[in-house]
Amino acid sequence: MKEGCPVYIRDVNGETTAQFCRLANSVLGTQYPPESFEAAPRGHHLLYICKVAVVHGEVVGGIRAHSVADGSSSIVPSAMYIDMLAVSPVWQHQGIGSILLEQVELLCRECYVHVLQLHTPVNNTAAIRWYVDRHSFVEGDVVPDFYLSTPMEAGRLSRDAVLLSRVME
């Protein structure tokens, strides 16, 4: 963490929605609409979390995750799916991503969810290494054309994705 720069973790709100949207679209090379970053979509998921890391009033990172069910229980989800984690390039390698990931892990523990999952482009080697090496995720199947309907910068990242999973202790 940068010396003398406290990091505050906040729920996404009116002030932070636009900042998180700009940051995520810039870092991830996508064009998600601002409404994708607003408060929890009611009724869609049993669990939902959308947090930002704020330093000096500026959003420097954010995470969004929701529960997924496999039908075996209507009370306890089978997993939490991280559909977005983005950190400003200036703040990468400062622990911001890990702090945000911890927020999802805390919710999982509170709600007895033991599996974290996400997809990332197969050629996003930095992200894959970060999840695998630092956070004990395991690479799974490759899903061809996973990002086919996601507006992305041409040629930057593959439209094929790899599933990463982690069973929490």
HEC profile of 23-43: HHHHHHCECCCHHHHCCCCCC
At 103 the pLDDT is 97
Residue 75 lies in a domain: yes
- Say which CATH number the domain at 163 has: 3.40.630.30
pLDDT of residue 64 exceeding 80, the answer is: yes
What average pLDDT does the segment 9-32 reach? 90
Residue 51, CA distances (Å) to 20, 38, 72, 111, 132 in order: 9, 10, 28, 17, 22
Residue 1 lies in a domain: no
What average pLDDT does the segment 60-65 reach? 96
At 32 the pLDDT is 84
What average pLDDT does the segment 55-73 reach? 88
Residue 2 lies in a domain: no
At 1 the pLDDT is 58
Q: How many domains does the chain have?
A: 1
Residue 39 lies in a domain: yes
Residue 43 structural domain: 8-167
pLDDT of residue 126 exceeding 80, the answer is: yes
- Helix ranges restricted to H, the chain: 14-28, 96-110, 125-129, 135
What pTM does this model have?
0.89
Label residue 55 by pLDDT band (50, 70, 90).
Answer: very high
In sequence order, what are the residues at sequence separation of 6 or more whose Cβ sits closer than 8 angstroms to the Cβ of residue 166? 115, 116, 117, 131, 135, 136, 137, 138
At 75 the pLDDT is 65
Residue 3 lies in a domain: no
Residue 147 lies in a domain: yes
Label residue 149 by pLDDT band (50, 70, 90).
Answer: confident
At 2 the pLDDT is 64
Whether the CB-CB separation of 107 and 168 falls below 8 Å is answered with no
Residue 15 lies in a domain: yes
Whether the CB-CB separation of 51 and 100 falls below 8 Å is answered with yes
Label residue 166 by pLDDT band (50, 70, 90).
Answer: very high
Residue 156 lies in a domain: yes
